[in-house]
Structure 1
Amino acid sequence: MDRVVATYRVDSHEVVIVESVEDEGTYFHVMVDGLEGEETFAVPPSAEELTRIVDRRLGW
């Protein structure tokens, strides 16, 4: 089961943190402008980490 736990703006980009609950446990992933990345997190990423994620995905 997935649920949105937070929505942020980083510059002009919409950043959504999604919590996924599965038999193996709970993890979080980040969507930037509606696109999901490959990284997963044990805890929701901090605001600083979200900025790095956006920069990395945009190739900055």
Structure 2
Amino acid sequence: MVEIFSDKRTITSYGGLPTGLSRENFFRCRSTPHNRKLMRMFKDVGLVEQLGSGMRRI
């Protein structure tokens, strides 16, 4: 969930890490999608460039 206020932006994730992704690997910018089929669809239509490419920017 993304909330936008006049003085701040808040991003909240109610889910945990995907199965098989450790906390250490998450902070090493290794990414695993929760839904591989959805990720593949986004890649096929050009909405994402590659899996996990935004992790380092975040």
TM-score (norm 2): 0.25
User: Which structure's residues are more often strand, by fraction?
Assistant: 1
Indicate the structure (1 or 2) with the bigger Cα radius of gyration.
2
TM-score (norm 1): 0.24
